[in-house]
Amino acid sequence: MDRVTTILRYQWRAYRRRFTRAGNLTAGNQGILLILSGIILFRYFQLLGTATADLAAGKTVMLEWLLAGIFLGWLFPLLSNAHLSISTSVLRHLPLSVKELFGIKAISLLMPPYVWMIVAGSLAICYPLAHAPHPLAGVTAALLFIVMSWLAGLSIAQLLSIAFWRKLLCAAVLGLLCAGGLYVMSGRDLTGLSHFSSFLPTNLVVRAAVAKQSWLAISTLSVLTVITLCASLWSFRQSLEPLASRRSQKNLNLTPFKFPGKMGGLSAKDFRYFRRLLDPYLGLLAGALCSFYLVTADAPSSDVFWIFIIIIFVPNASVAFNCFGLDNRSGLDRYTLLPVNGKEIMLSKNLAFITVIGVQLLLMILLAGWRLGLGVAALGLVEVALLALAYMTWGNWLSVNHPFKMQFFRLSSGGAPVDVLGGVVFGCLPGVVAIRLFHENKPGVLWITILMLLLYGALYLCSVIWAGRNFERKRERIGEW
């Protein structure tokens, strides 16, 4: 125990010095990010008052939504940053037991300040539960739910680092989506799903606070907490095992696309890197939802289709705005040995980004042509071109000037939130304008659309040339993020 305490004490000291180092709080507008987190937390406290009033009136919907938000709140930091604790490669070399190593990793995850905000928000859920018919049982159930959410998020984050379980989790999510889609398409009453919702942990917390047999809900939550604890220990033990051989890893990394030209190998490498980030899968999920809507809706709307195109680009912003985030120092050094210049390197990154977007939009475009007509699908392609040019224009500038490190199989985390927000607004603006123009029947709309394509095309070409020259000058600095 003394060895674990010593390691945690020194790790906390190192993290505190890194966080309080001069310029670290302002770098990447991290201070603004903390302010925005505080504003969100303040709004959350206001919703707690609403949940308290609803609970007094016998309504529990708001409380269940807040509990679901707490679960997602614990999931996000564990999936967004792999550097919150000591890396697995370092833990393998420590002469400690698996339980001691797990304790070091788990406790170190509580060190960042925004995790403290999640802890504060999670404990604040006890306030409305304290005004429930069974306050003690409700608070006890809430504490069990918080621990269970933390352990469940930790288990998922650790399993995502293992290829087999990563594929299995993706297959499970896809299976649930397909099952839900088939259930809705069957025309059955959705109220039948309420029977299954009664077994959700959020519903168990509510039942412990308001139902008569609260002990049954608490017992169930206790069993679920023990199960998630065992799952987190087991997944941590699995993550400590050595990686697969190089040959098997090479087979897993084969790219199904063949990119033409001398930059084809670079684009294939970047596409392989981008698909190992979790953000594009959110866009893939949005594309699946839009495809499901186009298939099941009696009279699908073209506006919904066009709006979904804008939505799909948003989670892919990290791929465009930080295209060097997954390259390590040795990878950046190898660019100097290749017979390509900076402009060609930027073009290879942009081609990989377009491929990622194309995979997510392909089924949507085909279904739109079938259900809405070829004209609507063609206008959708014009919107895609405008959005892609705008995102890549901003992303080429941002990738060279403000790069930050990203990790495989994690959500992107880092960078300047103001720059990212400005890029999303800049990137989505032509899509919003295009949707507005698509509703106009005036003869000048076609020429306006062509002028927009030419304008954003010229901006994109300028960004490629500028970013390529600056990358050649800043290659060393980019590798030192």
pLDDT in tens, 413-472: 666 677 788 888 999 999 999 988 888 767 778 888 899 999 999 999 999 999 888 888
Q: How high is the pLDDT of residue 90? A: 62
Q: Are 207 and 153 members of one domain?
A: yes
Average pLDDT over residues 50-66: 86
One domain for residues 188 and 297: no
Separation in Å, CA 230 to CA 105, 111, 140, 235 = 15, 23, 21, 9
Q: What is the mean pLDDT of residues 465-480?
A: 79
Closest by alpha carbon to 87, among 332, 407, 415? Answer: 407
Q: What is the CA radius of gyration of the chain?
A: 25
| Rounded distance between C-alpha atoms, residue 8 and residue 439, angstroms | 60
* pTM of this prediction exceeds 0.85: no
**How confident is the model at residue 85, as a pLDDT?**
54
Write the CB contacts of 326 (distance below 8 Å, at least 6 apart in sequence).
Answer: 273, 274, 276, 277, 406, 408
What is the share, in percent, of the chain residues with pLDDT greater than 90? 19
Query: What pLDDT sits at residue 109?
Result: 76
* Residue ending a domain, choose from 247, 274, 291: 247
What CA–CA distance (Å, rounded) separates 338 from 320? 23
Tell whether 183 and 261 lie within a shared domain: no
> Do 170 and 267 have their domain in common?
no
107 and 216, same domain (yes or no): yes
Number of domains in the chain: 2
Do 150 and 236 sit in the same domain of this protein?
yes
- Domain boundary (198, 232, 247) is at 247
For the chain, the maximum distance between any two Cα atoms, rounded to a whole number of angstroms, is 78
Say yes or no: 220 and 286 in one domain.
no
Please check whether residue 236 is in contact with residue 242, taking contact to mean a CB–CB distance below 8 angstroms: no
Out of 221, 247, 273, pick the residue that ends a domain.
247
Q: Examine the domain organization and report whether 275 and 236 are in the same domain.
A: no
Judge whether residue 245 has pLDDT over 50.
no
Tokens encoding 249: 């890893």
Segment 200-228, tens digit of pLDDT: 888 889 888 887 778 888 999 999 999 99
User: Which of 174 and 55 is assigned the larger pLDDT?
Assistant: 55
Could you tell me if 415 and 402 are in contact, meaning their C-beta atoms sit under 8 angstroms apart? yes
Residue 282 sits in the same domain as residue 340: yes
Residues 37 and 143 in one domain: yes
Note the pLDDT tens digit of each residue in 296-335: 888 889 999 999 999 999 988 888 888 888 887 777 777 7
As a whole number of angstroms, the distance between CA 316 and CA 284 comes to 10
Nearest Cα to Cα of residue 76 among 233, 240, 279: 279
Are both 97 and 221 inside the same structural domain?
Answer: yes
Residue 184 clears pLDDT 90, i.e. is over it: no
The predicted-structure confidence for 90-100, as pLDDT tens digits, reads as follows 666 666 777 77
* pLDDT over 70, % of the chain: 79
| Full domain range(s) for residue 361 | 253-478
Separation in Å, CA 55 to CA 58, 64, 179: 5, 11, 33
Two tokens, residue 315: 């989670």
Distance CA 102, CA 232 (A): 9
Same domain membership, residue 404 and residue 300: yes
